[in-house]
C-alpha cells in the first residue's frame, strides 16, 4: 500500500538514462517514483492526485508532454506538471506557460532546483 504522506512523482521521458537519473535523485529525496517511457504508458496507469506531481519531457515519441498535460486536464486530473526539455525555445516556453506548467527546466536539470520546485508545487496544490 503506497504511503499517502510521501510525495509521489511520475516521470515521463523517452530517454532511459534520464528516467533512471531522475528516479535515483527523487528516491534519494525519499519520494515515491514511477517512470514511464511514453505519455501513452502514463495515461494507462492509476495516479494519485494528492501529494503528487508529474515531470514530463516536452518532446516525446507519440503524444508530447504538452499534449499529455492537455489530456490530464480533459480527464479532470489536477496535479502540478513540471516540464523538461533539451530543445528550449521562446515558443516552447510560452506554450508550457500557457498550458499551466508549474515548472520548466532545460536539460541537464539542476538537481536542487528541481527538488525545490517539486516541494513548492506540492505545497501549492495541497
CATH number at residue 40: 3.40.50.2300
pTM above 0.75, yes or no: yes
Instruction: Please tell me the total count of domains within the chain.
Output: 1
* 1: in domain: no
* 58: in domain: yes
Three-point CA angle 98, 7, 52, nearest 5°: 35
* 3: in domain: no
Span 63-111, pLDDT tens digits: 999 999 999 999 999 899 999 999 999 999 999 999 889 999 999 999 9
Domain hosting 119: range is 8-125
Whole-angstrom Cα distance, residue 84 to residue 87?
9
* 106: in domain: yes
Residue 36 in 3-state DSSP? strand
Span 18-77, pLDDT tens digits: 999 999 999 999 999 999 999 999 999 999 888 999 999 999 999 999 999 999 999 999
Amino acid at each position: 500500500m503506497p504511503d499517502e504522506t510521501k510525495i509521489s512523482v511520475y516521470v515521463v521521458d523517452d530517454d532511459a538514462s534520464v528516467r533512471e537519473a531522475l528516479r535515483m535523485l527523487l528516491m534519494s529525496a525519499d519520494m515515491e517514483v514511477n517512470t514511464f517511457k511514453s505519455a501513452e504508458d502514463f495515461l494507462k496507469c492509476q495516479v494519485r492526485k494528492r501529494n503528487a506531481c508529474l515531470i514530463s519531457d516536452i518532446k516525446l515519441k507519440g503524444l508530447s508532454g504538452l499534449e499529455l498535460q492537455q489530456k490530464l486536464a480533459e480527464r479532470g486530473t489536477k496535479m502540478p506538471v513540471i516540464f523538461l526539455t533539451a530543445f528550449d525555445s521562446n515558443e516552447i516556453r510560452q506554450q508550457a506557460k500557457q498550458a499551466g506548467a508549474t515548472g520548466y527546466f532545460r536539460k541537464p536539470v539542476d538537481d536542487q532546483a528541481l527538488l525545490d520546485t517539486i516541494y513548492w508545487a506540492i505545497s501549492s496544490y495541497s
